[in-house]
Amino acid sequence: MLPPPPGCDADSVVLTFEVPHEHAGLRLDRFIQLRIPRLSRTRAQRIIRACAFRADGTRRRPAELVRANEVVLLVRERFEEPEVPLDFEVLLDDGAVLAVDKPPGLPMHPSATYHKHTLTYQLRERFAGPDGRAPQIAHRLDRETSGIVLCGKTRDAERALKMCFEAHRVQKTYLAIVRGELEDDTRHIDLAMRPVSEGLHVMMELREDGLPSETDLQVLARANGYSLVELFPRTGRQHQLRVHLSAIGHPIVGDKLYGPEREAPFLEMIETGMTPELEARLGHTRHALHAHRIRLPHPTEPRELRVTSPLPPDLSALWLRLAGAPFVARPEPSGEATISV
């Protein structure tokens, strides 16, 4: 971690954000918005005025344009971060791509609440080379979602991975435990969505004038009013799987935003934390969603990259409790050279 710039308290926390080529030329407030999820433009501007510095200690302004490969510094007083799981398994490391199995509860990127307790920081601590460069995350998972995260270990690999995601050349599979027993074994969900126009701004809503959003679904098991499903997102909208499952009447167990009570559990948890009564209503302490498999062209070699992560212990235990029997995973497709834990 970089030391605080001149003029700042020596005990301050320094958050660093390297500007990728595709973000060069953006205003600083817009760049910070992209790097800190769920941050409003107004809040980003307040943070920049209070915390943004150059390495020489001079302050930065929200309207400044960022340059490729420069490092933006946000300096804030040290604070106590909430405890989260910090350990993660490495699923694949071939020198170009690092695939890790993110535990539920570990945030991906720094925010107003988290700094060291993020996957970004832990990757830097564990894998940074002599030049200080760490593997760069190529896509996002919600904090509560567990499973596969791909990172580029070189600039070329990072750029190629991100281009694959942007070009929709990545096939992703998720596992989820949902409320209710779905009638059909398979289903295609095609419901456009967009950020909500009012209410809790982190949420998404179905709108005919929204962005096209498609999900395929296959039921793997049913029991006692619950289903374990395999999900294949054909588009990559924020909260897409959670919104789509809620829309068809089968919300994910533990979902604090799109379950039967909508956002009420989310707001309650902010006030009280996870209480036994709230957990009983939700069915689980986090939404039961896991990034299970991923398949895409290898970013630097002429071959396909395939990675698998099995259902994690907390969701395996949840299914055992709900169904009264363990979940038996389907065998891998024949000929698939997967890497799994």
- Which domains does the chain show, CATH number per domain? 13-76 (3.10.290.10), 174-282 (3.30.2350.10)
Q: Do residues 111 and 119 make contact, with C-beta atoms less than 8 angstroms apart?
A: no
pLDDT tens, 150-162?
Answer: 999 999 999 999 9
CA distance 297 to 245: 29
Given pLDDT bands bounded at 50, 70 and 90, which one contains residue 325? confident
CA distance 217 to 184: 10
In the beta sheet, which residues pair with residue 339? 307
Q: How far is CA 178 from the centre of its chain?
A: 20
Does residue 169 surpass a pLDDT of 70? yes
State yes or no: is 142 an active-site residue.
Answer: yes
Tokens of 53: 């510095």
Q: Do residues 71 and 54 make contact, with C-beta atoms less than 8 angstroms apart?
A: no
Q: What b/e readout covers 289-308, taking b as 16+ CB neighbours within 10 angstroms?
A: bbbbbbbbbbbbeeeebbbb
By mean pLDDT, which of 7-16, 135-144, 255-264, 296-305 is the weakest?
A: 7-16
Given pLDDT bands bounded at 50, 70 and 90, which one contains residue 332? low
Return the higher-pLDDT residue of 40 and 172. 172
- Angle at 24 (CA atoms; ends 22, 26), nearest 5 degrees: 110
H-type helices in the chain, by residue range? 28-35, 41-51, 119-127, 155-166, 240-247, 264-272, 276-282, 313-323
Q: Do residues 286 and 144 make contact, with C-beta atoms less than 8 angstroms apart?
A: yes
Confidence (pTM): 0.77
- Which pLDDT score is estimated for 98? 97
- Say which residues have a Cβ less than 8 Å from residue 240's Cβ, sequence separation at least 6: 193, 204, 213, 215, 233
Catalytic residue among 101, 142, 255, 314: 142
CA distance 304 to 36: 31
Give the CA distances from residue 222 to residues 175, 286, 296, in Å, rounded to whole numbers and listed in that order: 13, 20, 30
- Angle at 162 (CA atoms; ends 190, 166), nearest 5 degrees: 30
